[in-house]
Amino acid sequence: LSDKLSRLVKQMRGQARITEANVQDMLREVRMALLEADVALPVVRDFINRVKDKALGAEVVGSLNPGQALVGIVNRELVATIGEGVSDINLQAQPPAVILMAGLQGAGKTTTTAKLAKHLIEKRKKKVLTVSGDVYRPAAIEQLKTVTAQAGAEWFPSTPDQKPVDIARAAIDYARKQYFDVLLVDTAGRLAIDEAMMKEIRELHAALNPVETLFVVDAMQGQDAINTAKAFKEALPLTGIILTKLDGDSRGGAALSVRQITGAPIKFAGTSEKIDGLEVFDAERHAGRILGMGDIVALVEQVQAGVDMEAAQKLAAKVKSGEGFDLNDFLSQIQQMKQMGGLSTLMDKMPAQIQAKAGQVDMDRAERDVRRKEGIICSMTAAERRKPEIIKATRKRRIAAGAGVQVQEVNRLLNEFEQMQQMMKKMKGGAMMKLMKRFGG
Ligand code: GDP
Ligand code: MG
């Protein structure tokens, strides 16, 4: 698939605008990719229409072609949709904050209940109680007991002869008296949606008044995820989604289906059957997976980074030859930086250690600074940019007025440029020295 996409992208070189005609094929490929990832058909249709609306008539900047621009729009829309509202568990309630787990049998509710307990204990420093309302399978209550112990949380006993609502009330009562911060309520699932199950969980919800009602859904669930999601959304005011079994080899299109149908944010992802297999949902990574991973993600990233390869190469050649590095090149450096989404976006992509160091720098200020520099160079004439040495007092005043800055700022920029130019000359010198040494010079 991605090969085909890349080919289509290449065919579109030289077209300046996204039009119906030039994106038809691309959109067809995107539609196929989504269907292959098991996104439900109506959701695919909806998504494609949204992308089309955003894309049509969009101007294609720099050396991008409409194909690349479209891939960028698709990826961004996908990330925005599945990533909307991603957040940790809400605990804003009079303790105990009650969390209700809902979903089909086998979706991973019991496992995820324990994973969440561990997360809340370790990351949020909470005192956590779990309880099972699954009175249909005695083994299910035992299962929760076992995994709760692994999580280091406390388990509230229940038995199959009790009513789920009574169990829940008793658990809340206990949690209140013992000063628990959180009560996690595991529930019974059925193999398919049925009215009795929905009624039961609605009653549980009414009795518990939970601060979070989490819909646990198996990422491997295909087209059918949409029906499950619809049924649960109609029965309950869902506040979040947990997507389980992302360690499987499904493309995880259920994420998009379920996010769109329920309107609830995807909060966490299950990544193994083990107790620590829970991660904050990573929308960007998941979008890559849905769209077909590997090549296309790299391609999209390249598009989003917006690196103008031709300009970059020209610049590199100039730097190498050490000749004619002028203010135009300086400007194009600044503009490339801006195309890449500015400093802070760039920073987001950096490893954590670098981010930590950069935390000491005021990003907003740095970006304002970059914009001002751009403004100053844009107020110069072509001749001034090529030969900055002709910029004397009168010209400086004119440039400053044009850019809306003080003359000192123009001076500062010219100094900085000069330093850069000298650095480049030195770099060239250094490279020469190495070469000479190698030849015994
Ligand atoms: P429930 O019926 O909804 O309570 O589902 P369970 O919690 O009992 O999980 C059903 C099965 O899925 C169990 O075998 C779990 O070990 C497994 N499971 C749950 N979450 C994950 C996950 O994120 N990854 C993997 N690989 N298996 C999971
Ligand atoms: Mg269970």
From ligand 2's centre to the CA of 109, what distance in Å? Answer: 5
Residue 105 known to bind ligand: yes
Residue 224 and residue 357 in one domain: no
**Protein residue with least CA distance to atom 12, ligand 1:** 108
Residue 371 and residue 322 in one domain: yes
Residue 161 and residue 297 in one domain: no
Ligand 1 atom closest to the Cα of residue 277 is: 23
Q: Can you say how many angstroms the Cα of residue 275 is from the centroid of all Cα atoms in its chain?
A: 24
Model pLDDT, residue 205 = 96
pLDDT band at 28 (very low <50, low <70, confident <90, very high): confident
Residue 251 known to bind ligand: no
Using a cut of 0.80, tell me whether the model's pTM lies above it: no
273 touches ligand 1 (CB under 6 Å):
yes
Residue 115 and residue 264 in one domain: yes
pLDDT band at 15 (very low <50, low <70, confident <90, very high): low
Which residues place a Cβ less than 5 A from the ion ligand 2?
A: 109-110, 140
CB 204 within 8 A of CB 100: yes
Residue 286 lies in a domain: no
Residue 42 lies in a domain: yes
Residue 192 lies in a domain: yes
Q: What residue type is assigned to position 10 of the chain?
A: K
Residue 108 known to bind ligand: yes
Quote the domain boundaries for residue 335.
Answer: 309-438
Report which of residues 27 and 299 the model is more confident about. Answer: 27
Tokens of 267: 């909060």
Residue 188 and residue 318 in one domain: no
Residue 137 and residue 270 in one domain: yes
Tokens of 117: 């307990």
Ligand 1 atom closest to the Cα of residue 246 is: 23
Q: What is the CATH number of the domain that holds 368?
A: 1.10.260.30
Q: What residue type is assigned to position 103 of the chain?
A: G
Residue 285 lies in a domain: no
Q: What is the CATH number of the domain that holds 134?
A: 3.40.50.300
ipTM over 0.95: yes
Q: Taking Cα atoms as reference points, which of 256, 245, 193, 192 lies closest to residue 218?
A: 245
Residue 143 and residue 180 in one domain: yes
105 touches ligand 1 (CB under 6 Å):
yes
Residue 198 lies in a domain: yes
SS3 string of the chain?
A: CHHHHHHHHHHCCCCCECCHHHHHHHHHHHHHHHHHCCCCHHHHHHHHHHHHHHHCCCECCCCCCHHHHHHHHHHHHHHHHHHCCCCCCCCCCCCCEEEEEECCCCCCHHHHHHHHHHHHHHCCCCCEEEEECCCCCHHHHHHHHHHHHHHCCEEECCCCCCCHHHHHHHHHHHHHHCCCCEEEEECCCCCCCCHHHHHHHHHHHHHHCCCEEEEEEECCCCCCHHHHHHHHHHHCCCCEEEEECCCCCCCCCHHHHHHHHHCCCEEEEECCCCCCCEEECCHHHHHHHHHCCHHHHHHHHHHHHCCCHHHHHHHHHHHHHCCCCCHHHHHHHHHHHHHCCHHHHHHHCCCHHHHHHHCCCCHHHHHHHHHHHHHHHHCCCHHHHHCHHHCCHHHHHHHHHHHCCCHHHHHHHHHHHHHHHHHHHHHHHHHHHHHHHHCCC
Ligand nearest to the CA of 133: 2
Asked which of 116-125, 305-314, 375-384 is least confident by mean pLDDT, the reply is: 305-314
Model pLDDT, residue 300 = 46
Q: Please say if the pLDDT value at position 206 is more than 60.
A: yes
Residue 325 and residue 263 in one domain: no
From ligand 2's centre to the CA of 87, what distance in Å? Answer: 24
From ligand 1's centre to the CA of 219, what distance in Å? Answer: 11
Q: What is the CATH number of the domain that holds 35?
A: 1.20.120.140
pLDDT band at 234 (very low <50, low <70, confident <90, very high): very high
302 touches ligand 1 (CB under 6 Å):
no
Residue 122 and residue 70 in one domain: no
Residue 245 known to bind ligand: yes
158 touches ligand 1 (CB under 6 Å):
no
Q: What is the mean pLDDT of residues 104-130?
A: 97
Residue 131 and residue 215 in one domain: yes
Residue 8 and residue 146 in one domain: no
Euclidean distance between the first and the last CA atom of the chain, given in angstroms as a whole number: 54
Work out how many domains the chain is built from and give that number: 3
**Protein residue with least CA distance to atom 27, ligand 1:** 273
Residue 167 and residue 61 in one domain: no
Ligand 1 atom closest to the Cα of residue 105 is: 2
288 touches ligand 1 (CB under 6 Å):
no
Q: Please say if the pLDDT value at position 84 is more than 50.
A: yes
Q: What is the mean pLDDT of residues 332-361?
A: 56
**Protein residue with least CA distance to atom 2, ligand 1:** 106
